Structure 1
Amino acid sequence: MSERPDLSTEEGRRSFIGYLNDRLPRKRAIAQGVLRNAAGELLLCELTYKKEWDLPGGVVDPGESPATCVEREVREELGLTLTAGALLAVNWLPPYRGWDDAVLFLYDLGTLRDDLDPSLFLRREIKDAHWVAMTDVDSHLAPYAARMLASAAEAEHTAYLEDGVAR
């Protein structure tokens, strides 16, 4: 951009936004959900592409809201149609194992009254799903995810976290 665009025109404003989009940092957004069963256990997904288990969810697509993302991901990967409830936490994640930093939006997905149907799982991503007591999640989750769940459970309101802990 050798010449400053005319910001008084729509074309000039769009040109400048394009310039900024090409140069400003881009941060990945992730949306995950806390889904419980009647016993109060949390659903954790055993993934095909990483060692640690994780909460249901995934990366937010361009132009998609985080709430829509978590609903889409649980529908695609687990065959469940759920509505994202309350936002439990916003968690900034520092770079981790080769991933750039990200912002994770954690939603309450409510309580599932029925059994899971493993035949509906998207097998290229989900090996299995497990109901796990909150006291046992640390042995299955990556440290940042375990910290995030503990912090969100203790928060009186939506928690803003950095690397799983209050700032």
Structure 2
Amino acid sequence: MTATSAPDERPGVTMREESYGALRASAALWAGTSVLITDLRGQVLVQRVTYRPTCLLPGGAVDKGESPAQGAAREMEEELGVTATVTRGLAVDWVSPAGRAVSPAMKFPGELLHVFDGGVWDEEQITAIRPAPGEIAAVEFVEPADLPALMAPGDARRALSALRARIAGAGPAFLEDGLPIAPTVLDRVGVLRTARARHHFPFRPRPVPEGLAVRRSRAWAFAPDGRVLVLLDPDTGAARLPGGAPGPEDAGDSEATLVRGAREEAATEVTGAVYLGYLSDPGGPCARVRYAAVLARVGAPPVDPATGRTYVRVLATPEQAVELFDWGPAAADQLRAVHRARALLHIPRAARQPVTELTGPHAW
């Protein structure tokens, strides 16, 4: 019996089904699956296993006749004692024979490894974890920037690429040895490769008390589609909202500080500022003021006179923006205030969509 030509054969050539099957089997790869889970702070769940010195995401080999999604659900149940299904893919990684350090005796042919989104787990879900005895020594949530120190290099690259794909919202990333073949702006800047500043400060939705110094004044600057402007440091990937530190020219007016700071560090014009409140920083003690405002225009990317950097400017939903910071439990309080002000500014709530870069002048 013969089969018609396959796309990779010469036109008109036929091949016996047995031979064709053998040809395809000779090029077979391993299939693996893993799950990326974060907590409410955006930290990533990793497992310390008993059979290797580095940490892993939950996951493993796909069994015969099993889909990668089914394998991911099975591995979560076996390793974490959690029954769940996964429906959203974050990345597919082609792990080359040279991209994984294994014994030559394994004759590793390469692997297609799927990364699925396990979601954001709250305390109730985390306390329900029951690590597999004898296999999983410990389970912990770690800062994304710590993954390269805890995982094998390829595993860390894959986990960070998958996490950026989840935040970026552009769909599953296709990777080669952990690196995207079509990098997003978050990949290019290296978001989350350095530790996020830990600002677990209470959010106070009221005026700054008399005598408490204002250290920073920043805004959730809304574009008409409901997304906000976020600035990314080109050297570290760290995120910030537009604004700045008070100067003598502001005469103690935190809104004037905001307008001037946004113009200087990001060539950004904001209007219609609505006061939200302040973050109470006990280290000062001082206040970090927050506004919501309308993003009117951006100019050509400038050099920030305060830092000497030219920030990468992106538009993201407020929820995507929060994932770039480590603000602790008070982030939810600030986000609620942001959406109340957004409604007052008659700006729609943004649907989740890809993070996009603002590379040149633009007006709304």
Q: Do they fold alike, i.e. is TM over 0.5? A: yes
| TM-score (ref. length: structure 1) | 0.83
Q: CA deviation at 1:25?
A: 2.4
The code of the aligned residue for 2:150 comes to: H
Structure 1 residues 21, 122: CA separation in 2 closer, same or farther (over 3 Å shift)?
Answer: farther
Cα separation, 1, equivalents of 2:141 and 2:30: 28
- CA displacement, residues 30-81 of structure 1 (integer Å, 9 cap, x when unaligned): 1101111222211101111111100001100011000000100010111011
The corresponding residue for 1:158 is: 172
How many percent of aligned residue pairs carry the same amino acid? 31
The corresponding residue for 1:129 is: 139
Q: Is the 8 A contact 2:80 2:131 kept in 1?
A: yes
Cα separation, 2, equivalents of 1:117 and 1:110: 15
Structure 1 residues 166, 78: CA separation in 2 closer, same or farther (over 3 Å shift)?
Answer: same
CA RMSD of aligned residues (A): 2.5
Cα separation, 2, equivalents of 1:162 and 1:27: 14
Residues 1:141 and 2:151 aligned together: yes
Q: Larger radius of gyration, structure 1 or 2?
A: 2
Number of residue pairs the alignment of both structures matches: 158
The corresponding residue for 1:116 is: 127
Structure 1 residues 7, 162: CA separation in 2 closer, same or farther (over 3 Å shift)?
Answer: closer
Residue of 34, 37, 47 corresponding to 1:35 = 37
Q: Is the 8 A contact 2:31 2:113 kept in 1?
A: yes
Q: Is the 8 A contact 2:36 2:163 kept in 1?
A: no
Residues 1:106 and 2:99 aligned together: no
Residue of 58, 66, 69 corresponding to 1:67 = 69
Q: Is the 8 A contact 1:30 1:59 kept in 2?
A: yes
The code of the aligned residue for 1:121 comes to: P
Structure 1 residues 147, 23: CA separation in 2 closer, same or farther (over 3 Å shift)?
Answer: closer
Task: Structure 1: give runs of 5+ residues left out of the alignment.
Answer: 9-13
Q: CA deviation at 1:165?
A: 0.7
SS at match of 1:29: strand
SS at match of 2:47: strand
Task: Structure 2: give runs of 5+ residues left out of the alignment.
Answer: 5-15, 182-364
Residue of 80, 92, 95 corresponding to 2:94 = 92
Q: CA deviation at 1:90?
A: 0.4
Cα separation, 1, equivalents of 2:82 and 2:19: 38
